[in-house]
Amino acid sequence: MLLPDNIQPELSIYYNGSLVLNELKKKNNQTLMSLYQSLKNTGMSFGIFILCLDWLYLIDVAEIDEKGCINLCI
């Protein structure tokens, strides 16, 4: 669900993806679990978090290196 039908932006992948992106801008090269822990206070579920990472990977903004760390591509 990139854009929800019921006008709740906090449930959209775009909104949550921006939260992930902002966290990666603060501190690049984070492990999956450390990045998720830093976003725990936003109330984002792990499933939405993974969908956001998938979306950011598909649009060439984030990547996972061979060590398993998430990095920005921009």
Task: Give residue-wise pLDDT tens across range 6-20.
Answer: 667 777 888 999 999
Report phi then psi at 72, rounded to 5. -80, 145
Taken in order 41, 2, 34, 25, the sign of the CA dihedral is: negative
Could you please state the CATH topology (level 3) that the domain comprising 9-72 is classified under: Arc Repressor Mutant, subunit A (1.10.10)
Encoded tokens for 2:
């990139």
Query: For residue 56, what are the β-bridge partners?
Result: none
Task: Locate the domains of the chain by residue range.
Answer: 9-72
Q: Give the HSE-up count for residue 23: Cα atoms under 13 Å, Cβ half-sphere.
A: 24
pLDDT at res. 3: 58
Q: Whole-prediction pTM value?
A: 0.84
